[in-house]
Chain A
């Protein structure tokens, strides 16, 4: 076979694959928007759920989801920065470097339900925390840690070596170099990774459903170990009582709210990556 033929076959194949993805995505979006839109209104967003979610809105679910992921980000970001700095500046041994990379990828590949089970056993059963939104945040933080770390590490390790040489030649010590050279360049990767991590975390049900969320009667938590409700677990609960048409319609509405959040986060991640790439390339 000649090269041109192979080339064309591949072009057609990859275009078809891209087209297929696009069609599926459009189909999903259309279904969710068309089903969810009738339920959606300003009132739906700002009023609490009533009658087990069959009536009312998703105010506390929305706030609960935001609380869970924002707190997860706040926990995860400094740890990820620390790991990334350690990997890029201090870990000299190439085998340990490889091992740490493998561990991060492995952690990234752990199914989210396993994180949930871990949280249930370790926090709820052993440490007796009870249902706690804060434990949910910790588990989500753990789950998005590799995403943030790897993205941050990537941008730190792509800093030109001459930057570090220049800083050392000016008489900076290791920490001063990290603060003035490595962090300013690496922070872009960290923010991009954070947004990607939050995109993933906000849609997750499995890691938090056993440990952090309750279905009804939940408002804004006053203490660390009270449950919240969240959009994905709310949707799950509503669809289980699918016999009630109003509940199902509210489930679609909540799905649309969640989808909007996910889109906002992932588009910000995209912009963040683009912005920081431009800034470091100058």
Chain B
């Protein structure tokens, strides 16, 4: 189905799904390659609306590639090829849409905090620079709202014009999350967002996720099993480019269908 290239944002806003049992994102028979190297194999999975969907698995198992396929950031890599469908509320994001509109719906936060060498204010509003629908007053409100949403407002409200690079790594990562929220996405894709942070900052991000999940669908990649145990609603275990098992957290931890899942969750051992 070929869509009107401009209509995708309106289309996505029309689709209202309130029941959290209905998947927000569904991947169907998805395969991906870098040149001839297949890194994602026959992926069928779903991410639930307004839940924390944790993807776990050893490094190199294709978690980042999967995440980056959803918002099509890998499209810019010439050796990257894919096949299959990724449905966001029933709409195939891989179809011929305006890819920038798709990406605005799918906010992404990376492993290492990536702030630009500008002020805190400029960093928060970075994604709105080419959007002239907001007045100065509205931008101010957005900045304040998002900084409060990531629990950074009290710490930085006195120094919004100082360089964002002066913040601690944990604060920088929260700033990155706020910057993503400012674009007003429906889904948050987070690729091991705490792996370069200290334990206290990691816990702050975890708490933040628990607060944000009422308003956003969260897809959270981690290789930290304990972290997944603390925050996940839904758990997806990946290994060697395949989804081994997916389901509710309790089910996977207490009663997994596969021996491999049990081995990984209990002994962090994987032989696939």
- When the two chains form the complex, which single residue of A162, A172, A180 contacts B114, counting CB atoms closer than 8 Å? A162
> B91-131 CB contact bits vs A (8 Å, 1 = yes)?
00000000011011011101010101100000000110110
Residue in chain B with minimal CB distance to A164? B76
Q: Is B58 an interface residue (CB 8 A)?
A: no
- In this complex, which of B76, B112, B176 has the most chain A Cβ atoms within 10 angstroms of its Cβ? B76
Using known A-B contacts A280-B117, A282-B117, A282-B163, determine if residue A169 contacts B107 with beta carbons closer than 8 Å. yes
B173 at the interface (CB under 8 A from A): no
Tell me whether chain A's interface is mostly helix, strand or loop, or mixed.
helix
B242 part of interface (Cβ distance < 8 Å): no
Which residue in A92, A169, A176 is a CB contact (below 8 Å) of B130?
A: A176
Q: B190: shortest Cβ distance to chain A, in Å?
A: 11
Residues facing B in A162-189 (CB within 8 A) are 162-163, 165-173, 176, 180-181
**B73 interface residue per 8 A CB criterion:** yes
Cβ-defined contact, B112 with A172, below 8 A: no
Known contacts: A169-B103, A171-B104. The answer to whether A92 contacts B78 by CB under 8 A is yes
Tell whether, in the assembled complex, residue A171 and residue B165 are in contact, meaning their CB atoms are under 8 Å apart: no
Contacts of A92 in B (CB 8 A): 78
* B179 interfacial by beta-carbon distance below 8 Å: yes
Q: Mask for B128-140, Cβ within 8 A of A = 1, else 0?
A: 0110000000000
Inter-chain contact B100/A172, CB cutoff 8 Å: yes
Known: A162-B110, A163-B114. A171 touches B127 (CB 8 A): yes
- Shortest distance in angstroms between B96's beta carbon and chain A's nearest beta carbon? 15
Decide: A168 near B130, CB < 8 A? Known: A162-B112, A163-B116, A181-B116.
no
Q: How many residues of B are counted as interface, with CB atoms below 8 angstroms from the partner's CB atoms?
A: 26
Give the distance in Å from the alpha carbon of A160 to the alpha carbon of B113 in the complex.
Answer: 12
Contact yes or no, A168 B129, CB < 8 A: no
Interface check A95, CB cutoff 8 A: no
- B73, B78, B101, B112: the one contacting A169 at CB < 8 Å is B73
A176 to B183, CA, bound (A): 15
Residue B186 is within 8 A (CB to CB) of chain A in the complex: no
A279 at the B interface (CB under 8 A): yes
Cβ contacts under 8 Å, B114 to chain A: 160, 162-163, 165-166
**A169 engages B117 (CB within 8 Å):** no
The contact string, 1 if C-beta is below 8 Å from chain B, for chain A 148-169, is: 0000000000001011011111
Interface residue? B48 (CB, 8 A) = no
B165 nearest CB across to chain A (Å): 5
Please, which residues of chain A bring their CB within 8 A of the CB of B126?
Answer: 167, 170, 180
Q: Which residues of A contact B165 (CB under 8 A)?
A: 282
Q: Which B residues are within 8 Å of any A CB, using their own CB? A: 71, 73, 76, 78, 100-101, 103-104, 106-108, 110, 112, 114, 116-117, 126-127, 129-130, 163, 165, 176, 179-180, 183
Query: 5 A-B residue contacts at CB 8 Å?
Result: A162-B112, A163-B116, A166-B110, A166-B116, A169-B107
